């Protein structure tokens, strides 16, 4: 296939919609059981994407709701300080800001949610009437939102209701399966349907196997999700494959010293979208996804600093062989 000329969204601003919570976590190697103090940050799949898009220099807005409380003010300020337009974030006088607790451990990081009845869980289809979407080139959503409430699911369904050729903007969708948020046996069909209707869909191979079949390969996932113009299947630290109507393009991941993995998928999506929106071919967009993901892997929070622009350009300019060799050594 031609990895140089994929379909891509029209030039223009990006809008991300979804819940962001205050997040509390101990510093590794401490756990919640043993830590004497915790670090306060913010965590939300869609705002993570928005912040990294802003880091890459794209104009981006985040639409959501927070409570009229200190945590809500903290969330709005943190996302805004990253260069994201947060003027469309509503303050709910009656519902609180959601809260997330991270508990690092030897078997990985466990996440505990306290978001039932949160301000963002009351979001609905009316969010899509915001003026910012009138001039947007891309709307980005995730599978977290439809799990939060009936009105949130209606929001995502409305965004994906029209066929791609009839939409005023492209729609990106990251499956982002969070099993704890879904009633039993509902996520596979709902997320499969929504993912298949987006223009650009992201899914981890591991989560696809959890949702739709343990033995699935990346090519099998494309067989299940044939609708997206671009389907990106991420295979953890091994690599990622972008499927289009012309075929597949695979780029190995960079080897990175991992401090904490939560947020890396959002960072990857942002890097890939940033590359695509700026006219990059699939190889370059996938590389930018891996570079951005590495920034999240190296920090405790969801949002870490990108390498210098010169370092990014040097990595993007490597030959395929040089990229593979670079992937054998931890990225610093």
Q: Catalytic pick from 55, 92, 199, 266?
A: 266
Torsion of Cα atoms, 135 then 138 then 141 then 142, to 10°: -170
Per DSSP, 85 falls in state B
C-alpha torsion sign, points 166, 167, 173, 179: negative
- Integer-rounded Cα radius of gyration of the chain: 19
Q: Which of 278, 230, 286, 282 is nearest to 254 (CA)?
A: 286
Q: Rounded to an integer, what distance in angstroms lies between the CA atom of residue 262 and that of residue 193?
A: 25
- CB-based contacts of 38, cutoff 8 Å, min separation 6: 24, 25, 26, 32
Active site residue 266: yes
Strand intervals (E) in the chain: 14-17, 21-25, 39-43, 60-63, 65-67, 90-92, 99-103, 110-114, 138-142, 170-174, 200-204, 230-235, 239-244, 247-252
Q: Are 16 and 61 in contact (CB under 8 A)?
A: yes
C-alpha torsion sign, points 191, 279, 16, 137: negative
How do 99-103 and 110-114 pair as beta strands? antiparallel
Q: Which of 247, 332, 324 is nearest to 287 (CA)?
A: 324
Count CB atoms within 10 A of the CB of residue 122: 16
List, by residue number, the catalytic residues: 266
């Amino acid at each position: 296939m031609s990895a140089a000329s994929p379909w891509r969204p029209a030039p223009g601003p990006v809008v991300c919609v979804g819940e962001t919570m205050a997040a509390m976590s101990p510093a590794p190697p401490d756990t919640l059981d043993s830590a004497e103090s915790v670090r306060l940050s913010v965590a939300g799949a869609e705002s993570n994407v928005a912040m990294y898009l802003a880091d890459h220099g794209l104009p981006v807005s985040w639409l959501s709701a927070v409570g009229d409380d200190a945590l809500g003010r903290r969330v709005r300020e943190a996302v805004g300080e990253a260069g994201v337009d947060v003027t469309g974030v509503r303050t709910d006088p009656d519902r609180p800001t959601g809260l997330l607790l991270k508990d690092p451990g030897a078997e990985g990081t466990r996440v505990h949610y306290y978001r039932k009845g949160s301000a963002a869980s009351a979001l609905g289809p009316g969010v899509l009437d915001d003026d910012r979407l009138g001039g947007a080139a891309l709307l980005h959503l995730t599978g977290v939102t439809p799990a939060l409430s009936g009105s949130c699911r209606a929001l995502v369904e409305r965004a994906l209701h029209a066929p791609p050729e009839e939409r005023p903007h492209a729609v990106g969708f990251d499956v982002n399966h969070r099993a704890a948020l879904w009633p039993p046996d509902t996520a596979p069909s709902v997320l499969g349907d929504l993912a298949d209707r987006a223009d650009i869909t992201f899914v981890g191979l591991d989560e696809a196997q959890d949702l739709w079949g343990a033995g699935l390969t990346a090519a099998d996932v494309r067989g299940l999700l044939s609708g997206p113009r671009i389907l990106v299947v991420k295979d953890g630290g091994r690599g990622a494959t972008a499927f289009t109507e012309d075929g597949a393009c695979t780029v190995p991941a960079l080897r990175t010293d991992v401090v904490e993995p939560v947020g890396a998928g959002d960072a990857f999506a942002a890097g890939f979208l940033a590359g695509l929106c700026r006219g990059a071919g699939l190889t370059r967009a996938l590389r930018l996804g891996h570079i951005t993901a590495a920034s999240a892997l190296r920090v405790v929070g969801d949002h870490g600093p990108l390498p210098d622009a010169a370092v990014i350009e040097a990595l993007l300019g490597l030959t395929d062989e040089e990229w593979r060799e670079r992937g054998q050594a931890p990225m610093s």
